[in-house]
Chains A and B, each alone.
Chain A
Amino acid sequence: MKKRGIKIIVAFVLFIISLVIKFPNEWLNNGIYILLYLIVGLDIVLKAIRNIFRGKVFDENFLMTIATIGAFAIGEFPEAVAVMLFYQVGELFQSYAVNKSRKSIASLMNIRPDYANVKRNEEILKVNPEDVNIGETIIVKPGEKVPLDGTIIKGKSMLDTSSLTGESLPRAVKENDDILSGCINQNGLLEIKVTKEFGKSTVSKILDLVENASNKKSKSENFITKFAKYYTPAVVIIAIFLAAIPPLVIKGAEFTDWIYRALTFLVVSCPCALVISIPLGFFGGIGGASKRGILVKGSNYLEALSDAEIVVFDKTGTLTQGVFEVQKIEAEGISNEELLKYAAYAENYSNHPIALSVKKAYRKEIDTKLISNIEELSGLGIKAKIQDKDVIIGNEKLMKEKNIEYKKCSEIGTILYVAIDNKFTGYILIADKIKKDSKEAIIKLKKSGIRKTIMLTGDRKDVGENVAKKLELDEVYTELLPDGKVEKIEELIKTKTKKGKLVFVGDGINDAPVLAISDIGIAMGGLGADSAIEAADIVIMTDEPSKINDAIKISKKTMKIVKQNIIFAITIKILVLILSAFGLSTMWEAVFADVGVSVIAIINSLRALK
């Protein structure tokens, strides 16, 4: 490419000089033009000759060669050189732009780890990550990439997850935390037990996704390739007629004049600028999105997203955190801390999610020697002796059954009533928490023109409606079984306008069928779930619902750029064609317009990357 650049600059300078200094000898003048032509255009001419033998008459090299040789033939020497020169400038600029955006995607690929330090027989070996087995221990030093997914068994550190999630704040990790490949270990030494082989690790999945993105082509792209297929032959055929017929029909018309007009047609017959600027724009959009932790599986999805009209959310894990947390403790007669302590002790041996959240809230060590006589009361709660006190903990039914007078809690969520020695001592409210940016996400979606925001949930009516009200969603459907969700989506698809698209956002767990039937399925925080990455069209690597709005914004911007390019390029080309048919445009203007359109369309496309 560099060589080509130098060649073009040299030829350009010589060309300007030869235009300014006119040698008195015409032969010398023309000789210089031919020499310059060969410098810039020989490779094109050779390619054109080769292509004729392969039957490719509408090949751009061939068309440029005909246009320029034709110009020589009718004595327009400087034009011939100019056409070839500017054509080459356009080509050079194209390959520069393509390389640039290819490189920016390649930098995303930098998350690929080159090696893993694996511990075998008390020795540390540097091996290819593909050769590490599940269950082996790997060491990750500060500054190194985590090569495989695993669980930390020793050490703590700060992790830079920006290449995975676009999140710039480092994340603190410690023993027993799960760790994803592709993160960069910032400061501590980590020992990790590998839980997934390389091919199934997060980093491989992401690389695969990014590499294969944009294989599914958008409608605009297909439109342009189809347009190009007819455009070039049409222009060439018109050019032939233009050169041959008017001089025969119109009195006093000169052959050279009409040939000149026909040659001008050939100059703008190449649809390259158009064909290149569309995939370049989408590629940029997809690249820009992945920088923000949004992986789009194909340009068709990016295109469709700009027409999003209805956004349907799953509740648990999408709008809410999907983890049950103690939200409120209301003790009677004893302190809140003590109430929580009794509850945690009583729930110590239970693995129920509710029990886990109570223990998580208690945080302190549990002295198991103090617990005795545990009895699980199925569907009601737990009975246990802690130290010398009889503790009953469970739902309302349990309190009624044991004839304990209790104070009813009217808040929404799961409520654990606690009684000590048959006396009500308070309750603990456990509920799923709404994510921090859920509300902001809904507001922004409405602002960016989404007609309806809807939530689907398998959860109880009161819980679901409460969340929907807090988030100001337009509609909510509760107590849905998985196939009920599919039916609901089918119904909702019928309510949208012809062009509008329905987007479903879920966490990818249990909602693969729904992701698949929606126009666009978005899986969130789905790095862990394989099924999500497979079923979804767009994967958001963080668990922030506000990224959906970012994705829509990127898609709208990309579509705007793509449409601008299509309209701009086609308009200019047709304008030049009309002008030159009437002899109002010179070959100079045509080549400037053509290369100019290419350059502008390409620069415009590169904007999508930002």
Chain B
Amino acid sequence: MNILKNYKCNLKGLDCANCAAQLENAIQKIEGVKNVSVNFMTGKLIFECSEEEEKEIIKKVKKTIRKEEPDLEVEGI
């Protein structure tokens, strides 16, 4: 079984609650990503994915963020 690892990062400039919800939906759709949570109040993105696919998935997550909310700065991953 694949062991999932927890990833956490800050989204700087997250100032719209609806956008946070939409962003969460979009990231949820990326294959291999599990248990996504975009917390509007703390400005944090948390998700799980297997360690082997880490590089690829983080790249995809960042791409999705850029597409959905280009003004966000991603910190921590």
Q: How large is the interface on B (under 10, 10 to 19, 20 to 34, 35 or more residues)?
A: 10 to 19
Within 8 A of A (CB), among B18-77: 18, 21, 37, 39-44, 46, 67-68, 70
| B16 at interface, CB cutoff 8 A | yes
Nearest-neighbor residue (CB-CB) of B6 within chain A: A212
Instruction: With A50-B70, A54-B67, A215-B46 as known contacts, state yes or no: A279 contacts B18, CB within 8 Å.
Output: no
Nearest-neighbor residue (CB-CB) of B15 within chain A: A95
| B9 at interface, CB cutoff 8 A | no
Instruction: With A50-B70, A102-B41 as known contacts, state yes or no: A279 contacts B17, CB within 8 Å.
Output: yes
Nearest-neighbor residue (CB-CB) of A278 within chain B: B17
* Majority secondary structure, A binding face: helix
Number of A-B contacts (CB under 8 A): 51
Interface residue total, chain A, C-beta cutoff 8 A: 26
CA distance A94 to B39 in the complex (A): 16
CA distance A100 to B18 in the complex (A): 19
CA distance A216 to B39 in the complex (A): 9
CA distance A62 to B42 in the complex (A): 26
Quick one: CB contact mask for A78-106 with B, threshold 8 Å, 1 for yes?
00000000000000001100100110010
Nearest-neighbor residue (CB-CB) of A216 within chain B: B37
Kindly list chain A residues whose C-beta atoms are within 8 Å of the C-beta of B18: 60, 225, 228, 270-272, 275-276
Instruction: Find the residue from B16, B40, B41 having the highest chain A CB count within 10 A.
Output: B41
Instruction: With A215-B39, A279-B41, A283-B41 as known contacts, state yes or no: A98 contacts B15, CB within 8 Å.
Output: yes
Quick one: CB contact mask for A274-286 with B, threshold 8 Å, 1 for yes?
0110011001000
Instruction: Find the residue from B18, B46, B68 having the highest chain A CB count within 10 A.
Output: B18
Quick one: CB contact mask for A207-219 with B, threshold 8 Å, 1 for yes?
0000110111100
Contact of A214 (CB < 8 Å), options: B15, B16, B39 = B39
CA distance A109 to B68 in the complex (A): 30
Kindly list chain B residues whose C-beta atoms are within 8 Å of the C-beta of A214: 39, 41-42
Kindly list chain B residues whose C-beta atoms are within 8 Å of the C-beta of A271: 18
CA distance A215 to B35 in the complex (A): 10
CA distance A280 to B20 in the complex (A): 13
Q: How far is the CB of A608 from chain B (nearest CB, A)?
A: 12
Q: How far is the CB of B34 from chain A (nearest CB, A)?
A: 14
CA distance A50 to B71 in the complex (A): 11
Instruction: Check if A280 sits within 8 Å of B41, measured CB to CB.
Output: yes
Q: How far is the CB of B18 from chain A (nearest CB, A)?
A: 5
Residues of A in contact with B (beta carbons under 8 Å apart): 50, 54, 60, 94-95, 98, 101-102, 105, 211-212, 214-217, 225, 228-229, 270-272, 275-276, 279-280, 283
Can you list 21 pairs linking A and B with CB atoms under 8 Å apart? Answer: A50-B70, A54-B67, A60-B18, A95-B15, A98-B41, A101-B41, A102-B41, A211-B44, A214-B39, A214-B41, A215-B39, A215-B46, A217-B37, A228-B21, A229-B21, A272-B16, A272-B18, A275-B21, A276-B17, A279-B41, A283-B41
